[in-house]
């Protein structure tokens, strides 16, 4: 029997692939996510109500400034996370993917807990398996790749052991 979350995802998922959503979401969701995160001390994310979500902390590839991005992630079954640079099916890769390519050392915050990670680009030999995991969580998500006209960058985020000083 499907869970309530699975039913909600199956209803909401098709809406996320509409032109209206792809236009409105990049404009409305980031500021809403920031307000919710600020009010909750980073413990609550709006997107996390539907899918596992994290805040990715990177260093700007050009600016060197700290950057934060709320992202959906997919657990890979080995304590790591997979993130996809879909950017709502836009024709350009999102800035955070350039940041990870320039400096794969980053951090993530999940449910208020921050941890260091190392990002690695998922290669062609693993892409289909990674997409299968992602789409098991969010049906039709790979449609963003087809609609964008580009190969979406997929990254695996590996937690790093914290050093004890």
- Per-residue confidence (pLDDT) for residue 32, from 0 to 100: 78
Mean pLDDT per block of 10 residues along the chain (165 residues) reads 68 72 74 78 66 90 93 89 90 95 95 92 96 88 88 96 60
CATH code that applies to domain 4-159: 2.30.110.10
* H or E, element range at 133: helix 124-137
- Per-residue confidence (pLDDT) for residue 156, from 0 to 100: 97
Residue 14's CB is within 10 A of a number of other CB atoms, namely: 12
pTM: 0.77
d(CA 84, CA 93): 10
- Per-residue confidence (pLDDT) for residue 23, from 0 to 100: 77
Domain ranges of the chain: 4-159
**Beta-carbon-side half-sphere exposure of residue 62 (alpha carbons within 13 Å):** 2
- Per-residue confidence (pLDDT) for residue 66, from 0 to 100: 96
Q: CA-based Rg of the chain, rounded to a whole angstrom? A: 16
- Per-residue confidence (pLDDT) for residue 31, from 0 to 100: 81
Q: 79 Cβ partners below 8 Å, 6+ apart?
A: 159
């Amino acid at each position: 029997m499907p869970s309530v979350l699975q039913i909600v995802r199956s209803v909401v998922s098709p809406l996320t692939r509409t032109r209206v959503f792809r236009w409105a979401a990049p404009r409305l969701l980031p500021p809403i996510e920031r307000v919710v995160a600020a009010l909750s001390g980073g413990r609550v994310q709006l997107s996390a109500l539907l899918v596992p979500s994290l805040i990715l902390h990177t260093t700007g590839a050009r600016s060197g400034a700290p950057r934060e991005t709320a992202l959906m992630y997919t657990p890979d079954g080995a304590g790591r996370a997979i993130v996809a640079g879909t950017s709502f099916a836009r024709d350009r890769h999102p800035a955070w993917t350039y940041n990870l390519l320039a400096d794969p050392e980053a951090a993530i915050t999940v449910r208020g807990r921050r941890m260091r990670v190392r990002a690695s680009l998922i290669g062609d030999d693993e892409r289909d398996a990674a997409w299968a995991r992602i789409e098991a969580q969010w049906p039709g998500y790979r449609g963003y790749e087809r609609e964008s006209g580009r190969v979406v960058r997929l990254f695996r985020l590996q937690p790093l052991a914290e050093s004890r000083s």
